[in-house]
Amino acid sequence: MACPENKEPNTSSDAGKHTDDEEDNGVTLVEILEEEAQLEEDANAVLGGSDDANCTYRLGYVNRQALYACVTCRQQSGNTQLAGICLACSYHCHDGHELIELYTKRNFCCDCGNSKFPSNKCTLATEKSGVNENNVYNHNFMGKYCTCEKPYPDPEDTNPDEMVQCVMCEDWHHNKHLGKTPPPDSDYSEMICDACMEKHPFLNAYFSLVDSAQTASSCKLENETIDKNLLNSNKATFWPEGWRNRLCRCEKCLAMYEEKKIKYLTDDQDTVEHYEQKGKMACVNRPSSNERLMEALSSLDRIQQVEAITEYQSFAAELKDYLKTFADNKRVVREEDITEFFGRLKERKRRRLDDGPDGMPHFCR
Judge whether 135 and 141 are in contact, CB under 8 Å.
no
Q: According to the model, what pLDDT value does residue 253 have?
A: 95
Each of the 365 residues of the chain gets a pLDDT tens digit; together they read 344 333 333 333 444 444 444 444 445 555 656 666 666 667 666 777 788 899 999 999 999 999 999 999 999 888 789 999 999 999 999 999 999 999 999 999 999 999 999 989 999 999 999 999 999 999 999 999 999 999 988 988 888 888 999 999 999 999 999 988 888 877 899 999 999 999 999 998 887 665 555 656 688 888 766 666 666 778 899 999 999 999 999 999 999 999 999 999 999 899 988 888 887 776 655 555 556 666 666 666 767 767 766 777 777 778 778 777 776 666 666 667 777 877 777 777 677 666 554 444 443 33
Q: What angle do CA 277, 279, 283 make, to 5 degrees?
A: 110
Peptide bond connecting 153 to the previous residue in cis, omega within 30 degrees of 0: yes
- Nearest 5°: phi and psi at 292? -65, -40
Q: What is the pLDDT of residue 135?
A: 97
Amino acid identity of residue 244, one-letter, is R
Per-residue confidence (pLDDT) for residue 348, from 0 to 100: 72
Q: Considering all CA atoms of the chain, what is the largest pairwise distance in Å, rounded to the nearest integer?
A: 88
Helix (H) or strand (E) holding 274: helix 272-281
Q: What is the pTM of this model?
A: 0.69
Structure confidence at residue 358 (pLDDT) = 47
pLDDT at position 137 is 97
DSSP 43-72: HHHHHTT--SSS-GGGG-SEEEEEEEEEHH
Q: Which residues contact 98 (CB under 8 A, 6 or more apart)?
A: 70, 71, 72, 329, 330, 331
Long-range contacts of 122-129 (CB under 8 A, 24+ apart): 122/55, 122/57, 122/89, 122/93, 123/92, 123/93, 124/54, 124/55, 124/88, 124/89, 124/92, 124/93, 125/55, 125/57, 125/58, 128/57
> What is the rounded distance in angstroms from the CA atom of residue 35 to the CA atom of residue 31?
6
- Cα→Cα distances 197→53, 255, 264, Å: 39, 19, 16
Q: What angle do CA 168, 170, 172 make, to 5 degrees?
A: 130
Q: What is the pLDDT of residue 322?
A: 78
22-57: string of b/e by CB count within 10 Å (b at 16+)?
A: beebeebbeebbeebeeeeeeebbebbbbbeeebbb
pLDDT at 15: 41
